[in-house]
Amino acid sequence: MRIPLYQVDAFTDRPFGGNPAALCPLERWLEDELMQAIAAENNLAETAFFVPAGAQDGGADYALRWFTPALEVDLCGHATLAAAHVIFTRLEPARTQVAFATRSGRLEVARDGDRLALDFPSEPPEPCDGLEAVAAALGARPKELLKSRYGLARFGSEAKVAALKPDFARVKALDLFAVIATAPGAPGSGVDFVSRFFAPKAGIDEDPVTGSSHCALIPYWSKRLGKPKLFARQISPRGGALWCEDRGGRVAIAGQCVEVIEGTISLPDK
């Protein structure tokens, strides 16, 4: 069995920046155990698999699934962006928009100049308990703690977020799937907000750039800053740039992609 494989760096305009995702276009789904094993072998934050959509997929173009090295997840932004990049550049270059059927519903990606723009659900966070436990896990006390899909810890400055050195065993033990650390961008930087993302429960201590976390970050910072359009940076060691827009019940998350690897996974035929 030979499976095509692309590796794409998402939310960056240069190789070895942003967040790498592995993409496997398929004619039909493989067994779940095999897809999980491939994701573990790739050992990237996400490996995405997609197939031509079926009658059950509500008029989408493709069905899409995402796997970390440890488990299948419900939503992943950077691998969705990367999957669209492969479709637009390799499989169907005449396309300007693609719709995916996923565990999180229909997700669309459209060309936006030299960027690709995700259309994702908005997930405004709400205040929650557990600030002291999060502070102990992150090694610094946030100004406030909120929660939607993930915990969201707001700090007072970009420098405080950059300086965090989490205790990942404590982060994993929290009653949260993952934790976003966020703060306003440094004065004069042109960045509205920054973030980092910690998800040891998913087998990812720190994710380089996280599209799904911006489903909460965009409505939070849009309301706090009083503006619908925002420019964000995820300040992991690899780093990433995201152009964001609050559209009410949806958010737009745009970024660039760079393909760095093309290859084939070779497995014994059964």
- Catalytic: which of 31, 33, 46, 123? 46
Our separate counts of H helices and E strands in the chain read 6, 18
| Active-site residue, 31 included | no
In this structure, the number of other CB atoms found within 10 A of the CB of residue 136 comes to 14
Report the Cα 217 to chain-centroid distance in Å: 12
Phi and psi at residue 230, to the nearest 5°: -140, 150
Give the residue among 180, 238, 199 at the shortest CA–CA distance from 46: 199
CB 82 within 8 A of CB 48: yes
Report the Cα 130 to chain-centroid distance in Å: 24
Give the separation between CA 123 and CA 85, rounded to whole angstroms: 25
Beta bridge partners of 254: 117, 243
Which residues are part of the catalytic machinery? Answer: 46
